[in-house]
Amino acid sequence: MGGQSTHCDVYSGFWIRAASSIPGGDKPSGLGAKVIDRLSADLKARFHAATGFSPRNLKYMRAFAEAWPAEAIVQAPLAQLPWYHRLALLQKLSDKESRLWYAAAAVEHGWSRNVLVHHIDTKRARISRRATT
């Protein structure tokens, strides 16, 4: 997981906070989608050596910034996870407590993204929480 940490740091700081200010696509004019497409093109042009600025990823960044408060994004264990681990948490779990539990477990046990998803799908948190009570 450590090999991707430099790539993830780009998302963890400035870009996540910037993404939270992108308008949503729920407006009748579709302004959000146009802004995201333009921002994607601008970021790719400005940071041509970097990857991950597709409109789809920018939408994920916006959702990620809305799902977690800024302080959680830069604090352990969430900050120690690669981007695709974070996306799995965002896509598979709706509540903050479960997301943080799985993030901590993934860091503690060194889970790959696929193992993390498996544990989410099999509801490992419920089993582990019951065992400790």
pLDDT, tens digit, for every residue of 8-63?
444 455 555 565 566 554 444 455 668 888 888 998 999 888 888 899 888 888 88
Mean pLDDT for the stretch of residues 108-120: 95
Distance CA 83, CA 16 (A): 11
Tell me the pTM. Answer: 0.56
Residues 70-109: pLDDT tens digits? Answer: 666 556 687 788 989 999 999 999 888 888 899 999 999 9
Domain range list for the chain: 2-132
Helix ranges (H only) for 21-121 are: 31-46, 55-67, 70-74, 83-92, 96-109, 113-121
What is the Cα–Cα distance from 32 to 35, expressed in whole angstroms?
5
Is the pLDDT at 121 greater than 80, yes or no?
A: yes
Question: What span, in angstroms and rounded, lies between the C-alpha atoms of 96 and 44?
Answer: 32
